[in-house]
Structure 1
Amino acid sequence: MDKDRQDKERMLAAWLRVTTSVSQVHQLRDLRYNEALICNILMKNEIEHPGRRLTATDLCRESHILKSQMNRTLQCMEEKGIIERQRSTEDRRRVYTRLRPDSVIYERQHDQVLDTVGAIAARVGTDNVDQIVDMLNAISEAAEEVSRQGAGADETGRAAVANA
């Protein structure tokens, strides 16, 4: 096996080990994964952009969740009392979604996740946190680029073409 293939296999093995380990450490109790992801997007939006309202389409764009799955998830979250949706008075087709101020489910679970992340940081060394965050962000950005361009594209974004 050539070095390039070995490197890819090692990266895949490490990626799978991380994702498997994280999912084992953190079993979501109160919220499903997509619900927690949507809550996080809504919470970050409220903090970083006060007054900016998000629609299901905005949430789909941020989370990469399909529209049909998003609508089912939002309906379930509304029934649980986690979010509230409000139809726009200017455009009846637009429905805005926000976290309910009186819902504590997400905050409780978010605190549990932060405790888990803190325990992991303590094990790998808090001196390494900045480096780890930078590397995880770089990996995420690269994965998003590859996803947008397609796996058959080279590093310049051009589709690989077999020589004829």
Structure 2
Amino acid sequence: MIKRLIKRLPSDLLVRLYTAMPFKGIKNWIVYKAQDKFLVAVLGVITNESSQVLLLNHVYREEPWGIPGGWMELEAPEKGLKREIQEETGLSVEITGIYRAVYQTDPDRVELIFRGEVRGGTFRPCAEISDILYCEVGSWPAGLPDTQKSLIQEVLEKTSV
């Protein structure tokens, strides 16, 4: 309801109201309520010390193998990816850079794709991940989507030194 009301007001009036309003908390709440919402996913092409790619077996997917990732909470993106990997696998990783951001639909989301390296930990399965696999580029397991194969190769080619 607030969003529809705000969308009907002229933008110059909105700017004057925002500038004149003394309470930052209320201003931020109004801005938040007036904006469209979408999800932010963090994904990682993660390698081990042998440059093999970390893949996870996701129990809920038709094509189960894929790169690590998940939905961000209210946190820095790199921290969100590290948290997701730790929670789902028990592994600790270092994020070495961002590759790109992509807008996707169904659901509407922004995917932040990072590069990283495994630094330690011992794999332990969870409700979402039943197994992990380190593999050489091109020696993909059955059940790894073609889109992920291409993405992994792009990221590794772009970020290799």
Q: TM-score range by the shorter chain?
A: under 0.3
Structure with more of its chain in strand, by fraction = 2
Report the TM-score, using the length of structure 1 for normalisation.
0.23
Kindly indicate whether structure 1 or structure 2 has the higher relative contact order, using CA contacts under 8 Å at least 6 residues apart. 2
